[in-house]
Amino acid sequence: MNAIVAVDQNWAIGKNGDQLVYLKEDLKRFRTLTSGHAVILGRKTLATFPGGKPLKNRENLILSRNPDFQPQGCQVFRDIPALLNAAPSDSFVIGGGSVYQALLDACDTVYVTRIDAAFPADTWFPNLDDHPDWEIAETSQPLEQDGLVYRYVTYRRKETGHVPG
């Protein structure tokens, strides 16, 4: 399983239920990497999408304990074991914070957009640079939009005998 996330210098990912910044090229990259794959997200993340509608060209798997939450075009799972049982191995975890925390152990690759800035935030992604199970596999050249410099960094789980999920 994969995760994809945009983080600032402090591994912050969001504030007040939204991401910190929208980078045009990063959104295109997100669409390219995730199209044709299942995406795993929480109810609050789905609410941030235009019209609160699921992403097109992707199977949208929603993790929510709310029994009344049944958005059209999505599969809703009440617990992690049921979700993991149904999720294809090439799925992408796309947020929010609690979903990343719950499913990081099931991932073997994380696609990170590292933004060279610090933002006010209330939600963070685990710092993979400090995590003994993760290593950088690839780093892009710096990119820039509206004065913000960022890089694409791919992290892979170290070969430690860990079995994801």
Tell me the residue type at 61.
L
Residue 163: pLDDT over 90: no
Picking from 125, 65, 76, 122, the residue whose alpha carbon sits closest to that of residue 97 is 125
Residue recorded with tokens 């152990």: 105
Residue 41: pLDDT over 70: yes
CA distance 70 to 67: 8
Q: What is the pLDDT of residues 51-106, one digit of tens each?
A: 999 999 999 999 999 888 999 999 999 999 999 999 999 999 999 999 999 999 99
Alpha-helical (H) ranges within 87-159 are 97-103
Mark residue 33 as left, alpha or beta (left: phi above 0; alpha: psi -120 to 50; beta: remaining): alpha
Question: Tell me, what's the pLDDT at 164?
Answer: 57
Q: Residue 120: helix, strand or coil by DSSP?
A: coil
* pTM (predicted TM-score): 0.94
